[in-house]
Chain A
Amino acid sequence: MAIVLSVNGADRAIEADAEMPLLWALRDILGLTGTKFGCGAGICGACTVHLDGRAARACQVPIGDLAGVAVTTIEGLGTAEAPHPVQRAWIEEQVAQCGYCQPGQIMAAAALLANNPAPSDDDIVAAMDGHICRCATYPRIRSAVRAAAAAMRGA
């Protein structure tokens, strides 16, 4: 039986086991590969998406639990023509090295700023500390979050 997911504002019917983690439904079935597989165990944050606006780890959420939940992925956050302010800050600060962790980092930052427009350093750490960046782009991540917060407050 098909499971209907609301992804980036559109309903998508998925033929898959209800236990399948959202991560794999997005990547392998819907072809939304911007959400990354890093650890599969809720540790690294690479798979972070928004569920009803809150950051969540897609590798830990079975699709069967998502009835009526709005899923937003990095593809739904912004586009090349209309990037989200967090994406714009990430590009301006040239944060990414390999970039593989960055969709997850960006989704975490976007969720943080949606709820807390002026986060303190501690707030940023609390929201982002569980996100592994093997390239250690952390200093630029920190500046990009601050820059995005300032831009969003000014807008």
Chain B
Amino acid sequence: MGRTGRILRRTFLIGTAAVAGGVAFGVWAVRRDPANPLLPGLPVGAAAITPFVRIDAAGVTLIAPRAEVGQGIAHAQAMMIAEELDIGLDQVAIDPGPPAPAYWNGRVAAEGLPFAAIDDGMMARGARAAGDAVSKLLGIQITGGSTSVPDMFDRLRAAGAVARETLKAAASRETGVPVAQLGTAGGAVILPDGRALPYTALAAAAAATPPAGPVPLRPPEAWRLIGRSIPRADIARKSLGTEIYGIDLRLPGMVFATARTNPRLGGPVNGMDAAAAEAMPGVLRVVPLPGGAAVIARDTWTAFRAAGAIAFDWGAAPFPATQAGLWRTIADSFTDERRDSRLRDDGDAAAAATAAAAGAVTAEYRAPYLAHAPLEPMNATALWRDGWLDIWTGTQIPRFVQSNVERVHGIPSERVRVHQMPSGGSFGRRLEDDYVQQAVAVARAMEGTPVKLTWTREEDFAHDFPRPAAIARGRGAVADGRVTALELAIAAPSVAESQIARLGLPAAGPDIAIVAGAWDQPYAIPHYRVTGHRAPAAVPVSSWRSVGASHNGFFHESFLDELIHAAGADPLAERIRLCSHAPSRRVLEAAGAMAGWAGPRPAPGVGRGVAFTLSFGVPVAEIVEVADTPGGLRLTGVWVAAEVGRVIDPAGAEAQATGGVLWGLGHAMHAEITYEGGAAEQTNFHAFGGLRLSEVPPVQVRLLETDALRGLGEPTVPPAAAALANAIFAATGQRIREMPLVRHVRFA
């Protein structure tokens, strides 16, 4: 690995530090575009116009480098290219392409910066530009942080436009017709006489034509694809059972493996007896892994059984052995030494709350560890042959997979080919590559033979890298029917610290994820303070759909609801009154209008809760209605309004928004991961419930469009839990300050 790789490892995710390091490179290096990764080895007669459009006689392939994990981003990326390329989505293949610096994510480095997403000031803009420069220099290719649409919208349309104009130039050279007289439609260049020259027929000519210079992009009025609901090709395959996910890959001569490693996370293997496993018919080999072993067999089931037959002597995890002990490390972190950030400090919140002593409101909230548990268990296929390593897997970090292979296994990253596969969900899980590195270890032991390594569901729960548990302490005051002070201190282990530690590095700087979705809320509360405390690292944790905002939405909006109740105000009206940001006010008003809001108790036994979170730049207001029935609480309605910027595909956007809300609700109601003896107690879906069909209420979504660019995979998650808890309070008078809510109420 060269200098870039080392820098990348040293600076990734440290937000400010990464940006500062990047500025030192200067602009000259940033202006140069990374090489087109489609060109090396391109067959004669094929054209790779930009890193995003590949054409040969057989067809047109659009490269969609952001990973498809169910969010529909392959489709959305293809729409952006096809919009300018003048081709139908039914005329193209969509491919993730190889990992390459050309597919850098220009938005993700800015994610860790201490600027609110709606802050458009000079400092914030400068820092974001610097983040883009760093990411481009280092070729950081990541899918995450709801960045794909904002990052790719202009780049992919530009790629489509350049490809279109290049194809026209090629057609002009072939036919002698001036470019100005050529049009494009339906995947073909149209000649003045109406004849159509398909792009596929122009591939060879295009390959010999210099790419067109910068081409102006079409205005929104001219769009034919963007903004329309277009059926997704992958949905058809998924409904027919023909989509090949990573777990479905089959290669000639392939063998099947599984891994079993210490469920006491980070603990050692003190001993292992694999004799019984090795003696089982169909078992080919047992290979030691860090923390455990892999079994290679003729089929996955045999590998599973054999792995279960290995007697392991596992050592203890290097963190408190009980869940109570883990809670204590977080609860003990509300100290000055562990103070990590105070990004919001308006007025004098502490003094205001103290002065109001009589009217002061205090509360403590808890959010548990949560597993990602995508339905496709972790898996990867690897083949080590002739000094080359091929990896097939669903991953959000293909370039890190390469550099980690070099770090862990000593195979130079340029000898590692990563073939990105569609994923059966992720929710952030595939930002980790532990399962991939295991597959590599196994493949190295089986040189020349492709090995597919698949985890059992039990292994998947044991090694999930959960969303961290968190505690918040609120103090506030009200006066004259208004909320006047809100102070929230939040303690949680740092996801970034945990992720960086896995790269063998110390973490620097505050982790704004600890306070995301709380410090940056657009409320003009006179005395308003949000403090983050970094709890000691314990369970290895990672990014979980909406990250810190996933718990802070619950904390902030539940506590604000308590204050509003103490003030005797209406939960919706008081939020609107406090709101200092026009788009946020609009979504609160829109949600209220959709629900026909008439207060939190529209009928006896019925409660409505409202919550609002601005995260990933998207303000979202949600109203949840519950009915207190003899069988338990029933969710009877959900209304969601979000200002989402440009909607690429309305049906897809609605699916993401609804999915996020239901994800937030289901986990809030039912789910937690607890650790005993250093191991997760929940071993399969019987113990880690999500929402079930019978519980799903009607969900109405309204997406308010603007010309901003935002992502929608995460921002509807954070308000859901609080909206529900607030509805339960409205219906029953019971204020639940801890998730999962099912610890305190029954759901019907």
Interface on A for B, CB 8 Å cutoff? 16-17, 20-21, 23-24, 27-29, 31, 33-41, 43-44, 46, 73-75, 77-80, 83, 87, 90-91, 94-103, 106, 124-125, 128-142
Contacts and interface: CB of A to CB of B under 8 A. Distances in A.
A66 to B, nearest CB: 15
B239 A95 contact: yes
29 contacts: A17-B282, A20-B299, A23-B301, A24-B299, A28-B299, A34-B240, A37-B377, A38-B457, A39-B457, A40-B304, A41-B684, A87-B240, A90-B239, A94-B229, A95-B239, A96-B232, A97-B659, A98-B238, A98-B374, A100-B70, A100-B245, A102-B239, A129-B693, A134-B375, A134-B690, A135-B70, A138-B691, A139-B696, A139-B698
Contact of B684 (A39, A90, A97, A102): A39
Interface stretch (B422-430, B527-535, B626-634, B732-740): B422-430
A98 B684 contact: no
Given A40-B457, A80-B236, A80-B240, A136 B662 contact: yes
Contact of B376 (A27, A98, A132): A98
Interface in B196-244: 229, 231-232, 234-244
Nearest to B394: A98
A62 B692 CA distance: 28
A139 B244 CA distance: 25
Given A99-B235, A125-B693, A33 B248 contact: yes
A125 B692 CA distance: 9
Given A80-B236, A80-B242, A98-B425, A132 B375 contact: yes
Given A94-B231, A100-B425, A40 B691 contact: no
Contact of B374 (A33, A34, A134): A134
A24 B694 CA distance: 30
B377 A74 contact: no
A83 B235 CA distance: 13
Given A37-B454, A87-B240, A98 B423 contact: yes
Contact of A128 (B245, B250, B693): B693
A36 B239 contact: no
Contacts of A79: 240
B375 A136 contact: no
B659 A99 contact: no
Contacts of A23: 301
A23 B244 CA distance: 16
Which applies to chain A's interface (DSSP): helix, strand, loop or mixed?
Answer: loop
B239 A87 contact: yes
B105 interface: no
A132 B425 contact: no
A136 B239 contact: no
B651 interface: yes
Contacts of A28: 256, 299-301
B699 interface: yes
B426 to A, nearest CB: 8
Nearest to A31: B250
A98 B301 contact: no
A27 to B, nearest CB: 7
Contacts of A131: 693
B70 A98 contact: yes
Contact of B375 (A38, A80, A138, A141): A38
B69 interface: yes
Give me the 9 closest cross-chain CB pairs, A-B, nearest first: A34-B241, A98-B70, A100-B424, A99-B238, A74-B241, A136-B662, A33-B248, A24-B301, A97-B70
Contacts of A39: 457, 684-685
A125 B694 contact: yes
A142 B165 CA distance: 45
B424 A99 contact: yes
Contacts of A73: 241
A125 B426 CA distance: 26
Contacts of A40: 304, 456-457
A131 B281 CA distance: 34
B558 interface: no
B373 interface: yes
Which applies to chain B's interface (DSSP): helix, strand, loop or mixed?
Answer: loop
Contacts of B376: 36, 38, 98, 100
A113 to B, nearest CB: 15
B304 to A, nearest CB: 7
A102 B231 CA distance: 16
B666 to A, nearest CB: 6
B374 A91 contact: no
Contacts of A24: 299-301
Given A44-B685, A138-B691, A94 B299 contact: no
B32 interface: no
Given A100-B425, A125-B694, A106 B375 contact: no
Contacts of A27: 248, 300
Given A43-B685, A94-B231, A136-B690, 14 more contacts: A20-B299, A33-B248, A33-B250, A38-B377, A75-B241, A96-B70, A96-B238, A100-B374, A100-B375, A100-B376, A129-B692, A135-B663, A138-B691, A139-B698
A140 B658 CA distance: 10
Given A28-B299, A40-B457, A136-B662, A35 B241 contact: yes
Contacts of A34: 240-242
Contacts of A17: 281-282, 302
Contact of A98 (B69, B231, B299): B69
Contacts of B237: 99
Q: Which of A16, A94, A106, A124 has the most CB of B within 10 A?
A: A94
Nearest to B660: A136
B683 to A, nearest CB: 9
B284 to A, nearest CB: 14
A116 B658 CA distance: 29
Nearest to A124: B693
Contact of A132 (B250, B423, B662, B690): B690
A40 B424 CA distance: 16
Given A41-B684, A106-B239, A136 B424 contact: no
Interface string B58-72: 000000000001111
B686 interface: yes
A99 B70 contact: yes
A113 B681 CA distance: 38
Nearest to B242: A34
A43 B299 CA distance: 22
Q: Which of A75, A98, A142 has the most CB of B within 10 A?
A: A98
A74 B245 CA distance: 15
Given A39-B684, A75-B241, A136-B691, A97 B236 contact: no
B256 A136 contact: no
Nearest to A86: B239
A88 B367 CA distance: 41
B402 to A, nearest CB: 24
